Amino acid sequence: MLYLTRKVDETIVVNNNIIIKVVEVRNKKVKLGIEFPPTATVLRGEIYEKIRQGNMAALSSVKELDVELNEE
């Protein structure tokens, strides 16, 4: 993991087309502004994790079904 230190109004550029700007820091909370292409998907970490877990559960169900069908 890369760790960077930024002050308010400073930015980080990712892949030449994603710009992350520190907008505000207050009471241990950081407000970020993010500019990205319309084709990009941006999710908060907790939402991404729920989607990932759902996908893993669905994949597991498909594998179990495949095993059951092949046993018959």
- Which helix H or strand E contains 70, and what residues bound it? helix 45-71
CA distances from 30 to 3, 16, 26, 55, 67 (A): 15, 23, 7, 30, 48
The pLDDT score that the predictor gives to residue 61 is 76
Residue length of the chain: 72
DSSP letter assigned to residue 41:
-
Confidence bin at 72 (pLDDT 50/70/90): low
The pLDDT score that the predictor gives to residue 69 is 60
- Which residue in 3, 8, 4, 2 sits closest to 30, CA to CA? 8
The pLDDT score that the predictor gives to residue 71 is 65
Domain boundaries, the chain: 1-40, 41-72
The pLDDT score that the predictor gives to residue 66 is 61
Instruction: Summarize pLDDT for 12-69 with one digit per residue, the tens.
Output: 999 999 999 999 999 999 999 999 999 999 999 999 999 999 998 888 876 666 655 6
